[in-house]
Amino acid sequence: MTGFFITGTDTGVGKTRFTSLLASCLRGRGVAVRVCKPVATGAQWNEDGQLISDDTRQLGLAAGDLDFDSLTPYRFETPANPSLAARLAGSAYTINDLVVAVRRREQEGAVTLIEGVGGIMCPLTEKETIADLASSLGYPLLVVARRSLGTLNHLFLTLEAAQSHGLEVAGVIMSETEPPVDLASRHNPTEFSIRSRAPLLAILPYEPDPALGQGKRIVDAIDWPGLPSRGPGLGLLPRPKTPVVSFAQIQLP
């Protein structure tokens, strides 16, 4: 079983952008890719009367798969956590329903990319969270974090939550949702790397015009299927003796 579960430190940090870039890059290398975002909120009705999430559409286009119903079988209009959004819609699902939806997307020989909702502790049901879904599926995590003031706290809390659930973290991606002009944002990559054993794999630059392809070049520079297995709970706690800086974009002074 090859693939990743992409989660984030928050909503709006760039999970879908990163997952789409990763799917596109893998396809460009001739690798079969299957994407799945089993549940999405904030979906909108299109002209054909279909309730579709923008995230789902973006993922499907990147993966060359427009079977949106299969890609995201549980879609809700209210932009809220999935548990609340489902309840407001008079709908219900179990975490096993979400696991089954992902398993149906898997394909022999393909890399499976599963995108979560919000952060790792986002409620999915009355009792379960994204972390429980990731644990049930068994894929290593890629954690996307916003490059901004406050992200170090969000990152370390996310990694602690992953460890408490026995989840393997393959690495961290910092995503610029706006230009990193303040001191904290500029220093976040180094400050994170000297405090964590979880590797910082890439920094996605702020890119108002994706056609420039800078983010895609950065993602394409990494051997994602070849990332080493770190085992559940390994590489998550801070306090290494020496800094490990391994991100794919050279840090500006």
Instruction: Give which of 56, 72, 2 is closest to 32, Cα–Cα.
Output: 2
How many CB atoms neighbour CB 179 within 10 A?
11
Active site residue 216: no
Of the candidates 77, 151, 148, the one whose C-alpha atom is nearest the C-alpha of residue 119 is: 151
Active-site residue, from 37, 127, 216, 241: 37
What is the three-state SS of the chain? CCEEEEEECCCCCCHHHHHHHHHHHHHHCCCCEEEECCEECCCEECCCCCEECHHHHHHHHHHCCCCHHHHCCEECCCCCCHHHHHHHCCCCCCHHHHHHHHHHHCCCCCEEEEEEEEECCCECCCCCEHHHHHHHHCCCEEEEEECCCCHHHHHHHHHHHHHHCCCCEEEEEEECCCCCCCHHHHHHHHHHHCCECCCEEEEECCCCCHHHCHHHHHHHCCCCCCCCCCCCCCCCCECCCCCCCCCCCCCCC
Q: Is the backbone of residue 127 left (phi > 0), alpha (psi -120 to 50) or beta?
A: alpha
Active centre residues (catalytic):
37
